[in-house]
Structure 1
Amino acid sequence: MFDSSKKYWFDKNDDYDTRRRKKQCFTRSQITGLDFKGEMLDERDSYQILFLTAKVKELFRDDVNFPTMQNYRRRLFRRIKDARDYARSHRIKEKNRTILHDIYGLIWRQEYGEDGGSHHVHLIVFVSVSRRDHVTACEELGMVWQRITGWGDFHNGNRYAHSYRNKWGVATGYLHRNDEEKREALRKVIGLYMAKVSQTPLDRDEDDKLFGTRRF
């Protein structure tokens, strides 16, 4: 399905059993993520796609371990769910709507690494097309993350979408289910980058999930 997918799970220093487990994990995440994308596009014909990396400011990285980051991630998801539940039960004027009211679902992966070593969470977010400016929408979600954590930081992937053009293609911004070029770019981001098994936090327990999907 993808070219060069092996590098996203293969490490020549691993023994046979470790490679087999990593490949199984990679394939499992790949299937889960792509199935979720398909379900979202079956439900609605178009979205704004956000690509946010939620992380921690460099000054505070030594104070944040895997469970702390896991707790922050769960708090963000609860905040989104509460906002979506409220939006369904109340008629909210457009001027009072926040980005949290307009999120339908997301794919997430929690990792450790990059930028000299730090815990972070990658998010691919499916948002209402009423959000005309996807760069601003991604920025707004990042600022929610900052408020929740108090010492969080973020990378707005929508602002730098051009940097992915020669790697996977541009998967962010407006996506219609009939746009095969953008759907293929999104398939690569989900099926390769989000499914990868590198940058695994060492301080996680065996049962801790590193990849998942959420519908709101």
Structure 2
Amino acid sequence: MFDSSKKYWFDKNDDSPTQKRKKQRFVRNRITGLDFEDEMFDEHNSCQILFPTLNAKKPFRYDVGFRTMQRFRKIMFERIKDAHAYERKRKRMGRPLKGHERTILNDIHALIWRQESGGDGDENQHVHLVVFVSVSRRDHVSACEELGLEWERITKWGGFHNGNRYAHSYRNKWGVAVGYVHRDDHEKREALRKVIGQYMAKVTQMPIDCDEDDKLFGARKFSAE
């Protein structure tokens, strides 16, 4: 589907077996991500799509290695899961959350994630997200900002980049894949599938401290759990 996929897994310094493993991992990630996108738009007529990058603030960047960022990521995902569990509990009690009690975590249907290192070593750890959010969030830029601020609050050392604020910068690369996306909007969905099937699926910039068994890519639902 994507003719330019080689750059998302190929490193000229890798030996042949490593190149083969990376290509297989890239293809596996791409299939998983694109199938997940299809599934989300089967379940939801439309979504707000957020594209944040979660990282560490500069003063703490060299203190946050792969394992620490991995732990931060897992805590963040558990907080999202907990927010949905609490909301379901309130509904069962006949006391649904009021508007001011809801946070962005309650409005996250699902997400696709990839963890990587931005440097030559184990520095500048970060996590890219494609987040499927309820369309009740009318402003996707502020929704992405709120998610980043939650990350900062939860991790204490965290920082973030609000990719939705710079949607225009993707126009000539993949097309605009953030903000409101309807299942029948073929142009925006094709752009979104390029982001997921190329950028999110890539297997370069692997942290040096990760093992073969460490997951660096995944997709997860929350609202249906």
- TM-score for both structures, normalised by structure 2: 0.93
1:47 alignment partner in structure 2 = 47
1:147 alignment partner in structure 2 = 153
Please point out which of 180, 188, 193 is paired with 1:174.
180
Q: Which amino acid aligns with 1:98?
A: T
Q: Which amino acid aligns with 2:73?
A: R
2:69 alignment partner in structure 1 = 69
Q: Distance in 2 between matches of 1:62 and 1:94?
A: 39
Q: Which amino acid aligns with 2:47?
A: Y
Q: Secondary structure at the match of 1:136?
A: helix
Is 1:209 aligned to residue 215 of structure 2? yes
Q: Which runs of 5+ in 2 are unaligned?
A: 91-95
1:163 alignment partner in structure 2 = 169
- Deviation per CA, 1:18-45: give whole Å up to 9, x if none: 1111100000000011111111100011
Cα distance, 1:95 vs structure 2 = 2.2
Q: Which amino acid aligns with 1:199?
A: Q
1:111 alignment partner in structure 2 = 116
Q: CA RMSD in A?
A: 1.4
Q: Secondary structure at the match of 1:171?
A: coil
- Between the aligned residues of both structures, percent identity stands at 70
Q: Which amino acid aligns with 1:125?
A: V
Cα distance, 1:114 vs structure 2 = 5.6
Q: Which amino acid aligns with 2:106?
A: H
Q: Which runs of 5+ in 1 are unaligned?
A: none
- Deviation per CA, 1:46-95: give whole Å up to 9, x if none: 00000010000111111111111001000000000010112223211122
Is 1:195 aligned to residue 201 of structure 2? yes
Q: Which amino acid aligns with 1:52?
A: P
| Aligned ranges 1:81-120 → 2 under 5 Å | 81-90=81-90, 91-113=96-118, 117-120=123-126
Q: Distance in 1 between matches of 2:79 and 2:148?
A: 13
- Deviation per CA, 1:108-149: give whole Å up to 9, x if none: 000001699400000110000000000000000000000111
Q: Secondary structure at the match of 1:161?
A: helix
Q: Distance in 2 between matches of 1:202 and 1:114?
A: 10
- How many residue pairs get aligned? The number is 216
Change (3 A) 1:38 1:181: same
Q: Distance in 2 between matches of 1:98 and 1:210?
A: 27
Q: Secondary structure at the match of 2:210?
A: coil
